[in-house]
């Protein structure tokens, strides 16, 4: 006795187009989700860099205020308090420079192009071309 399995009917052209349409819709949804994930990661990096730049700007503001007080009190009274304010102001200036440089470095590391999405889109195009051939 031979084991003969019934032959499955071939899909109609309409069913094939429906399957293709569904597959393409799913592919587009997946690509959109990938873009969302990548953009969110880059925005997070931008926030960190922006925060460091902001902290550097605040430190620079403090340096200007404190150096101004130090210069004014140092010249007017020629007291050690002025020297103390000057030292504090210079420390703030160093802090401002370090924070601004770190923030600038963080901002340079941001990649606005979602690389993984670009790669998968290129693979999708290649796949579609291979199907066409």
pLDDT averaged over 10-residue windows placed end to end, the chain, 133 residues: 64 81 84 84 86 92 85 73 77 89 89 78 78 66
- Answer yes or no: is 132 within a domain: no
- For residue 6, the model assigns a pLDDT of 61
- Answer yes or no: is 131 within a domain: no
Total tally of structural domains belonging to the chain: 1
Closest-CA residue to 110 (of 55, 22, 26, 43): 43
- Answer yes or no: is 2 within a domain: no
The span from the CA of 49 to the CA of 58, in Å, is 14
| Segments forming the whole domain that contains residue 62 | 14-122
Give Cβ neighbours of residue 10 (< 8 Å, ≥ 6 apart).
Answer: none
Contact 63, 89 (CB under 8 A): yes
- Answer yes or no: is 1 within a domain: no
State the residue for tokens 């997946």.
Answer: 30
- For residue 78, the model assigns a pLDDT of 65
The span from the CA of 13 to the CA of 59, in Å, is 69
Q: Which two tokens stand for residue 88?
A: 């504090």
Handedness of CA 53, 55, 58, 60 (dihedral sign): negative
- For residue 44, the model assigns a pLDDT of 85
- For residue 116, the model assigns a pLDDT of 79
- For residue 113, the model assigns a pLDDT of 75
Handedness of CA 76, 78, 83, 84 (dihedral sign): negative
- Answer yes or no: is 128 within a domain: no
Closest-CA residue to 88 (of 62, 127, 107, 124): 62
């Amino acid at each position: 006795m031979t084991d003969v399995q019934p032959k499955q009917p071939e899909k109609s052209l309409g069913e094939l187009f429906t399957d293709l349409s569904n597959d393409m819709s799913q592919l587009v949804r997946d690509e959109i989700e990938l873009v969302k994930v990548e953009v969110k990661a880059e925005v997070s990096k931008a926030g960190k860099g922006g925060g460091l730049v902001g902290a550097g700007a605040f430190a620079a503001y403090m340096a200007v205020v404190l150096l101004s007080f130090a210069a004014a009190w140092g010249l007017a009274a020629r007291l050690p308090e002025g020297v103390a304010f000057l030292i504090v102001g210079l420390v703030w200036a160093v802090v401002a420079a370090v924070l601004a440089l770190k923030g600038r470095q963080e901002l340079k590391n941001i990649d606005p192009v979602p690389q993984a999405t670009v790669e998968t889109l290129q693979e999708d195009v290649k796949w579609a071309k291979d199907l066409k051939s």
